[in-house]
Amino acid sequence: MIIVLHRDCSLKDKASVVRYIEQRGGRLLVSVVGDETHIGLIGSESQALASAIGAMPGVAEIRAVAPPYPHVSREYQPQPTEVRVGPVVIGASEVVIIAGPCSVESGPQLEAIAGSVAGEGARMLRGGAFKPRTSPYSFQGLGEEGLALLSAMSAETGLPVVTEVVAPEDVQLVARYADMLQIGARNMQNFRLLSAAGEQEKPVLLKRGIAATVEELLLAAEYVVSAGNLRVVLCERGIRTFETSTRNTLDISAVPVLKRRTHLPVIVDPSHAAGERELVPHLARAAIACGADGIIVEVHNDPDTALSDGRQSLTLAGFGEMMGQLRGIASAMGRQVAGRRQVQAAR
């Protein structure tokens, strides 16, 4: 339910409407849309409350159309949200490229990859320290040691770091080291983890679950935002379909569909969708052409020996080549991908 106030509704009348809702235990969200003030009523009691409010002074109309994810919906906030991660802004005109290994394996490995991708124009560094692996016998990540390596490499290259958190009790630890917390596909509906990420201040990268609809992804984002953290970026990373020729099926149409329904930035992970490095640049180009605000991509200095996802990791040279192509596509879309730069070694 959305309560639309008269354009000339007085402050006193606005306050009475808000008080009326709050005194009856209703939850609300106030937003300004053009020159109109909208009060969104959230929750199961909204219908009963709205009918009484319709007769109050200052109220122009009650609209019954309201998505179940008010905080993240475009209806409540038409202007796009820009999410700042250190010096980087996701959701503005720059298409932000995030690159790095699937897993942090060692200091030398991370240093080789971070230095190279930074030089090629990556604006953020990725790397898993806590890995959600399908098999309990696969490499599970370096844990806190991996977080410390990421944070040291961030200081050296100037790239903010995004890394995954897999459990609510690890949120504070990961937030101490990382600039952005990733919630992975397997945890998209771990509701306690979503709320815990919403109760801290670092921005959140929320990946779509392998069998989640767009609506479920938006509801997962609503968990984070309604807990108090507005800095959420969504990521399409491929979903499971009957098709087996790729690891997952990149749902490219999810990009414009999400952009229509939410004000949150949307990025694409071509690596986990493709499953093989040769396909990755094709999907990354498509994503930018489709309006994605960024790409998160796996890169390794020696993919054949990688402890996870080597087959889908770009080589350092492959990443550089792809970056050239992405600049061309971004420019055709009236956007930019950062240029190559000299990376100063701090040591």
224 contact choice in ligand PEP, Mn ion, none (CB below 5 to 8 Å, kind-dependent): none
80 contact choice in Mn ion, ligand PEP, none (CB below 5 to 8 Å, kind-dependent): none
Options 163-171, 179-187, 215-223, 309-317: segment touching Mn ion (CB under 5 A): 309-317
Options 101-109, 194-202, 260-268, 288-296: segment touching Mn ion (CB under 5 A): 101-109
Total residues binding Mn ion (CB under 5 A): 2
CB atoms within 10 A of CB 251: 19
Question: Would you call 286 exposed, middle or buried from its count of C-beta atoms within 10 A (0-12, 13-18, 19+)?
Answer: middle
303 contact choice in Mn ion, ligand PEP, none (CB below 5 to 8 Å, kind-dependent): none
309 binds Mn ion (CB under 5 A): yes
Residue numbers at the binding site for ligand PEP (CB under 6 A): 102, 128, 132, 184-186, 207, 237, 269, 272
Closest approach, Cβ 52 to ligand PEP, in A, equals 45
- Identify the H or E element spanning 85: strand 83-85
What torsion, rounded to 10 degrees, do the Cα atoms 153, 156, 157, 162 define? 30
Distance CA 92, CA 59 (A): 35
CB atoms within 10 A of CB 64: 9
Closest approach, Cβ 90 to ligand PEP, in A, equals 16
110 binds Mn ion (CB under 5 A): no
185 contact choice in ligand PEP, Mn ion, none (CB below 5 to 8 Å, kind-dependent): ligand PEP
Asked if 315 and 300 count as a contact pair (C-beta separation under 8 A), the reply is yes
Asked if 12 and 4 count as a contact pair (C-beta separation under 8 A), the reply is no
Q: Residue 156: phi, psi to the nearest 5?
A: -70, -40
Distance CA 195, CA 227 (A): 6
Residue closer to ligand PEP, measured from CB, 80 or 132: 132
Residue sitting closest to Mn ion (CB): 102
102 binds Mn ion (CB under 5 A): yes
Closest approach, Cβ 303 to ligand PEP, in A, equals 14
Binding site for Mn ion (CB under 5 A): 102, 309
